[in-house]
């Protein structure tokens, strides 16, 4: 007698390597952490420790030095979606604060669309808030405060989107991080190797809490010493001069105008109006985000 026997066949695909994509600007591109032939950086250091050692990791760094939020949305996000990442870091915004035509609502909408597109396919997002460049560079208060106000607004947007998309969020705007000189490269805007290693280790710890980091924790032991005072002066005399010249064409006239406005309001005792104006612009930006995005206030 013939008997039909049902046989269960395991058709599951073999496990594949975890895919990690880094999107952003020079911070994620690794500036400040030189290796033979280029830059490494925190994202590459983190990439080695997020996947299962048995299957490995496929890491692709889409970040480009000088990138704006517009570049992340229009260029990097489509490329990252084609890569189909399981994890993606989206760290951008400081360059936007250094541009004359800074628009917090445009930045918020672009960052929301980029994060939303990645989250919609199930990608786990990594985000961070950042210190303002004015404090990093030690600028005089009238010049530093407008930049600080801009960066606080960017951080508030990032905090709102971090809650909206349940990102793995790292706080990097605290004073202790800014004050630790050994963590920063000669330009004072990018982490040195020690700083990149610390960022990688802190993100790894946050991912491990969610069960998403299965590889080894990135080492904090640096291969290179922190930049010396002489190296800082050399950077200012060579590469720094070119960097400042490029920024001056775009930012400096506007920054001087903002500084003049700052001093005028201080003299009149109406400095609070500048904070109020920034708060209102931030409120409009947050209100324009996709439905369901929680709100945050500047400085949170």
Q: What is the SS3 assignment for 221?
A: coil
Q: What is the CA radius of gyration of the chain?
A: 22
Q: Which of 139, 138, 204 is nearest to 168 (CA)?
A: 204
What's the confidence (pLDDT) of residue 85? 97
Tens-digit pLDDT profile for the chain (300 aa)? 444 444 444 445 557 889 999 999 999 999 989 898 889 999 999 998 998 888 889 999 999 998 999 999 999 999 999 999 999 999 999 999 988 889 999 999 999 999 999 999 999 999 999 988 887 877 788 888 888 999 999 999 999 999 999 999 999 887 777 778 788 887 778 899 999 999 999 999 999 999 988 889 999 988 876 666 666 666 555 555 565 556 556 677 777 888 888 888 888 888 788 889 999 999 999 999 977 644 444 444
Cβ contact 49:216 at 8 Å: yes
Alpha-carbon span 228 to 170, nearest angstrom: 28
**Beta strands 124-129 and 87-91: pairing type?**
parallel
What's the confidence (pLDDT) of residue 80? 98
Q: Which of 108, 99, 66 is nearest to 298 (CA)?
A: 108
Q: Cα dihedral sign for 25, 31, 32, 35?
A: positive
What's the confidence (pLDDT) of residue 9? 44
**Beta strands 87-91 and 57-61: pairing type?**
unpaired
């Amino acid at each position: 007698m013939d008997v039909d026997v049902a046989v269960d066949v395991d058709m599951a695909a073999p496990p594949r390597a975890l895919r990690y994509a880094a999107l952003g600007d020079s911070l994620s591109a690794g500036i400040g952490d030189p290796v033979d032939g280029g830059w490494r950086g925190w994202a590459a250091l983190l990439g080695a420790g997020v996947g299962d050692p048995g299957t490995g990791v496929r890491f692709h760094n889409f970040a480009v030095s000088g990138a704006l939020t517009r570049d992340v949305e229009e260029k990097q996000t489509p490329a990252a979606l084609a890569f189909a990442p399981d994890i993606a870091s989206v760290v951008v915004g400081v360059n936007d604060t250094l541009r004359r035509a800074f628009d917090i609502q445009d930045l918020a909408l672009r960052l929301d669309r980029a994060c939303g597109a990645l989250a919609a396919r199930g990608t786990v997002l990594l985000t961070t808030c950042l210190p303002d460049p004015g404090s990093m560079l030690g600028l005089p208060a009238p010049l530093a405060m407008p930049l600080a106000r801009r960066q606080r607004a960017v951080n508030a947007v990032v905090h709102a989107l971090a809650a909206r998309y349940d990102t793995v969020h790292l706080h990097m705007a605290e004073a202790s991080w800014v004050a630790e000189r050994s963590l920063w490269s000669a330009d004072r805007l990018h982490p040195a190797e020690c700083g990149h290693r610390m960022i990688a280790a802190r993100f790894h710890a946050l991912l491990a809490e969610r069960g998403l980091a299965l590889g080894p924790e990135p080492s904090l032991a640096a291969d290179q010493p922190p930049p010396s005072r002489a190296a800082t002066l050399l950077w200012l005399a060579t590469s720094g001069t070119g960097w400042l010249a490029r920024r001056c064409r775009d930012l400096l006239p506007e920054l001087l105008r903002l500084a003049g406005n700052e001093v005028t309001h201080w003299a009149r005792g109406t400095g609070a109006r500048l904070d109020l104006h920034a708060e209102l612009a931030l409120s409009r930006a947050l209100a324009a985000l996709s439905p369901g995005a929680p709100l945050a206030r500047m400085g949170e």
